[in-house]
Amino acid sequence: MTNPVDRLVQFAPMQVGDVPMVAELEKVAYAHPWTPGNLLDAVHHLNHAQLLLCDAGPRDVSPWRNTTGHLIMGYFVAMKGVDEVHLLNLTVAPAFRRQGWATLLLSALATWSRGQQATSLWLEVRQSNVGALALYERVGFKQVGVRKRYYPLKANAREDAVVMQLPLIP
């Protein structure tokens, strides 16, 4: 079991060289993963894309490493708007889930967003993603709308997106 408690945990900007590994992790995390092309767009187009990393130990089984050999614990991709920031992707590697790392990623994003003079954070989440909905509600996001048939499901089926907002208190 990977336990990073006594290791150095750090953020690092997602780099082009990290994209193949992140794309592999996407395949494990999502039924409809971002492609390497989606991730490259995120890295290139002024998005805020950050990896959460820790040092790898000899007994680590988690296969996702960045270009410097650190374990990829998770990441987010966010896009700045006029006075808001939109969270586009938030993922934690399976071995690190339910240990508070997504909460930390969201906290870091909120801090960065305030620094960009954003007054709110926005996101969409699949209606069926009960774990993510619970996480976002727990950190203070409120449901503010629904986008009908926003996400692909299977065959021609689509799934609604729940739109959530978090006001950012300066």
| CA separation, residue 163 to residues 44, 109, 136 (Å) | 26, 18, 11
Which of 136, 137, 150, 159 is the catalytic position? Answer: 136
| CA separation, residue 91 to residues 66, 97, 115 (Å) | 15, 9, 23
Chain positions 114 to 153 lying near ligand COA, rule: CB under 6 A, are 125, 129, 131-132, 134-135, 138
Residue 75 Cβ, how far from ligand COA at the closest point, in Å? Answer: 9
Q: Which residue has the tokens 């909460």?
A: 103
How far is Cα 93 from Cα 97, in angstroms, rounded to an integer? 7
Q: By the 8 A CB rule, do 164 and 156 touch? A: no
Chain positions 21 to 50 lying near ligand COA, rule: CB under 6 A, are 29-30
Q: Is 150 a catalytic residue?
A: no
Q: Is 136 a catalytic residue?
A: yes
Chain positions 57 to 116 lying near ligand COA, rule: CB under 6 A, are 90-92, 97-103
- Contact residues for ligand COA, defined by CB under 6 A: 29-30, 90-92, 97-103, 125, 129, 131-132, 134-135, 138
Return the active site residues.
Answer: 124, 136
